[in-house]
Amino acid sequence: MKNNRRDFLKLTGLAGAGILAGESAPALGAQASESNSLIRKQKFNMSGYAAPKLETVRVGFIGLGQRGPGHVTRSSRIEGVQITALCDLRPEKVDAVKKKLEGTPHKPVSYSGKEDDWKRLCEQKDVDLIYVATPWHLHGPMAVYAMEQGKHVAIEVPGVITMDECHQIVEVSERTKKHCMYLENCCYDFFELLTLNMARQGFFGEIIHGEGAYIHDLMSHNFSKDGYHDMWRLKENANRNGNLYPGHGLGPVAQILNINRGDKMDYLVSMSGNDFMMGDMARELAGKDEFFKPYANKKFRGNMNTTSIRTANGKTIMLQHDVTSPRVYSRLHLISGTKGAAQKYPLPGKISVGHEEFLSEKEVKALEEKYQPAIVKKVGELAKQVGGHGGMDFLMNWRLVDCLRNGLPIDIDVYDTAAWSSIGPLSEKSVANRSSAVDIPDFTGGSWKKNQPVDIT
């Protein structure tokens, strides 16, 4: 294989191998109801499970609109990856991505133009891993079908969106022994990885509280005809009321609190304010354009949702979600321990060891050097060059391949995927019942008490 250094980057994997070079579908699988017992019987423990090593990870991608093309481009630069399949309902999206792969060793099969083409991709023999970057309501059916066809699957945020789907992905993953990863890129951002490593080494003492948020003004994107295909994200905001996008804030905090690995989320309460913006914009646009008339009388989700979670070990988490207000972008990441605390947003990230003030920039720099995770030392600078939200997307793509090629447990397993995803529908339930407390199921079947944290750092 011809190697052009500018286009085909190489790096030895963390375990020693060469790795870097780079409308609703029907529910599938075993049905599970929200009324199921909160403690389920585990068929096979996927926490800490290392699937058989794959010398080459053959990858297919479903959904080439917003997130998919970036995953393809970054994966094409990871050694040991062979891109074998591309799928999108729109042929022009597939053609655009294939054009970017011209001149590379990747010659994927194309699927486009038919509603069920994604199933054909899942059935393709030379595919080991499938990325799902489609509208949210398709994540669950696609993940289940992919695993049923013997593929590992990585699904974009916010994972799956119903409690039935949360239970389904766990049941199918355990039965097929195929991974189902929640693609939470914020878990691989540099400050989040730093605080995870510091927490693991006891710098903050015992972690007692965490906060996370996704505050991002997406008003123009949600109402753009050229944005999300068939206005799917606007429809989500028009038909649901809760924290629809919990993972960016929750994922890094959950890892630091060892959720599903020594602790578990026990119950939540969630509150949404009224909608003060989206309905007004819908009515304004409807007065100018017939296209928006169906949205003129919709009752949109509240502008701000705040969800509080208590864990089995008495820790607490606060999450916020607001994609409409004209606020400065924030993915709040706050960790509070018995000996210190850390906070990112506003940038740069800050660290404290007392209540009076944050440590100086020089002191934080020294801590970054002392506690810099091995994955950042090895791949960090290259990740920044390749890009994807400052490099965290590339770290996520690279690390998944690293685990599959070296037979390592993945960092975000199906129990994390189910638990993090469940905050969406459970927050909706709480909001609809005047912020009543709602139990969070134990998707691990009790194994959280003995599961061990994965060494991401």
Residues 150-162: tens digit of each pLDDT: 999 999 999 999 9
pLDDT at position 38: 53
CATH number, span 187-373+413-449: 3.30.360.10
pLDDT at position 41: 87
For 77, list phi and psi in degrees, rounded to 5.
-105, 15
Question: pLDDT-based confidence at 2, cuts 50/70/90?
Answer: very low
3-state secondary structure the chain: CCCCCCCCCCEECCCCCEEECCCCCCCCCCCCCCCCCCECCCCCCCCCCCCCCCCCEEEEEECCCCCHHHHHHHHCCCCCEEEEEEEECCHHHHHHHHHHCCCCCCCCEEEECCCCHHHHHHHCCCCCEEEECCCHHHHHHHHHHHHHCCCEEEEECCCCCCHHHHHHHHHHHHHHCCCEEEECHHHHCHHHHHHHHHHHCCCCCCEEEEEEEEECCCHHHHCCCCCCHHHHHHHHHHHCCCCCCCHHHHHHHHHHCCECCCECEEEEEEEECCCCCHHHHHHHHHCCCHHHHHHCCCCCCCCCEEEEEEECCCCEEEEEEECCCCCCCECCEEEEECCCEEEECCCCCEEECCCCCCCCHHHHHHHHHHHCCHHHHHHHHHHHHHCCHHHHHHHHHHHHHHHHHHCCCCCCCHHHHHHHHHHHHHHHHHHHCCCCCEECCECCCCHHHCCCCCCCC
Q: Average the pLDDT over each of 156-170, 216-230, 256-270 and give the range with the smallest value.
A: 216-230
Mean pLDDT for the stretch of residues 350-366 = 96
pLDDT at position 415: 98
Question: Peptide bond before 346: cis, by omega within 30 degrees of 0?
Answer: yes
Residue ranges of domains in the chain: 11-184, 187-373+413-449
Full-model pTM: 0.91
Query: Is the CB of residue 447 less than 8 Å from the CB of residue 42?
Result: yes
Query: Taking all residues of the chain, what is their mean pLDDT, rounded to a whole number?
Result: 91
Which of 240, 243, 241, 231 is closest to 281 using CA atoms?
Answer: 231
C-alpha to C-alpha distance for 249 and 134, rounded to whole angstroms = 21
pLDDT at position 18: 33
| CATH class of the region 11-184 | alpha beta
Contacts for 133 with CB less than 8 Å, ≥ 6 apart: 61, 62, 63, 64, 65, 66, 67, 68, 71, 156
Mean pLDDT for the stretch of residues 193-200 = 98
pLDDT at position 36: 41
Q: Which two tokens stand for residue 115?
A: 């509603």
For 271, list phi and psi in degrees, rounded to 5.
-135, 135
pLDDT tens, residue by residue, 205-251 = 999 999 999 999 999 999 999 889 999 999 999 989 999 999 999 99
pLDDT tens, residue by residue, 114-127 = 999 999 999 999 99
